[in-house]
């Protein structure tokens, strides 16, 4: 069973690992991935600043996403 629950600052390390793995093909192909791709500090900032959620299977974090609202439009990141 999967759950989507708010991410916490202590999740930043695992979320960084997942992001590095998820965007490795982009890094190889394009030479770059999303800003802060491999930065735990960036993930911590995103958790504090945005609506950041982790996707959990049993007790393991398997993914994450965050969104921001700009002029009543939700932007999923």
Whole-Å CA distances, 65 to 15, 31, 47 = 9, 22, 10
Confidence of residue 76 (pLDDT cuts 50, 70, 90): confident
Confidence of residue 3 (pLDDT cuts 50, 70, 90): very high
Considering its fold, how many domains does the chain have in total? 1
Expressed as residue numbers, the domain containing 6 is: 2-76
* pTM given for the model: 0.86
pLDDT in tens, 12-62: 999 999 999 999 888 888 888 888 889 999 999 999 999 999 999 999 999
Q: Which of 33, 35, 69 is nearest to 51 (CA)?
A: 69
Residue 19: the pLDDT is: 93
């Amino acid at each position: 069973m999967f759950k989507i629950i708010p991410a916490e600052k202590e999740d930043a390390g695992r979320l960084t690992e997942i992001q590095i793995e998820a965007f490795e093909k982009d890094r190889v192909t394009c030479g770059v991935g999303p800003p802060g791709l491999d930065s735990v500090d960036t993930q911590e900032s995103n958790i504090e600043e945005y609506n950041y959620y982790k996707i959990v299977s049993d007790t393991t974090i398997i993914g994450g996403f965050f969104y921001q609202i700009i002029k009543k439009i939700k932007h999923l990141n």
